[in-house]
Amino acid sequence: MHLSCLTNSYGRFGPEAALELVPRTGVTFLELPVRNEGMVSFFKETPLLTDASDPDTVQRVLERIHDAGLRLSSCNLTSGNPLQAEALERTLRKIRIAGQLGVSLVVAGGGEIESDEDWPTLVNHMRQIGDAAEEQGIIYCCETHPGTCQNADRMLEFLDRVNHPQIRINFDTGNIFYYNEGLDVYHELQRVLPSVRHVHLKDTNGGFKDWHFPEFGAGGAVDFVRVREILEGAGYEGPASLEIEGIQGEPELTLDQYQQRFVDSVVHLQKCGWTV
């Protein structure tokens, strides 16, 4: 099990800042987003790669990562709802790029449906994604997001319906609180643990639909000692990717403030027994 940095943690400064600053924290792995060409992301950063990036661009980015003394733990391929044909095609392009980058894990959506009538289409699309991932030697890990992977009940139903060996779960310790009411994050993790291949570590105040994801230890709802013990007890060996998304309504942070949040989060995890 190793700590990684999802470059969203640097907000609008994005992966350019992460390449420079993450090595100073002792963390040596990155989760790199591949963005949607022509679309501004939620974080408004300048992406290093999109679904339209050519092989030469991909190679140059990979060289920059290596030159910074970093390695890729995974790629984040969030592309929209894979129920939709456009999002499916975008995801398939991104999987090929992830293959060029040499990662074995990607993180993206499991989809949303409006009625049970949508299940056959979603299952078909997810199996296409799984087949494409298999060709690249990749496991596709579904985000803890609204819809089919919002909580353990839905994740288990989704996995049973899709029934593809390359489709697994990315468990997010903060999103369980944000998208659900009254759930125990540790119980939810334990229920899906056999299918978890990627983890997003995120702190929160625990509020339902309350965008409050500060530096680790400042949210207070997530016991990172207990999360570590659950993962270690199950023999989990994948990435634990730090994701620090800030607090809704706070003033715009400087780059130094983003870095301090990341540094403080790494220090908190080390106090909780995690190693970089």
- For the stretch 117-159, pLDDT in tens is 999 999 999 999 999 999 999 999 999 999 999 999 999 999 9
pLDDT tens digits, 10-58: 999 999 999 999 999 999 999 999 999 999 999 999 999 999 999 999 9
| Cα–Cα nearest to 140, from 274, 149, 28 | 149
Q: DSSP state, 250?
A: P
Q: Which pLDDT score is estimated for 1?
A: 93
Q: What is the mean pLDDT of residues 213-240?
A: 98
Contact of 170 with 200, CB cutoff 8 Å: yes
Angle between helices 185-192 and 224-233 (to 10 degrees): 20
Q: What is the per-residue pLDDT for 38? A: 93
Pairing of strands 239-242, 2-6: parallel
| pLDDT tens, residue by residue, 58-84 | 999 999 999 999 999 999 999 999 999
Asked if residues 137 and 124 have their Cβ atoms less than 8 Å apart, the reply is no
d(CA 126, CA 110): 8
DSSP label at residue 252: P
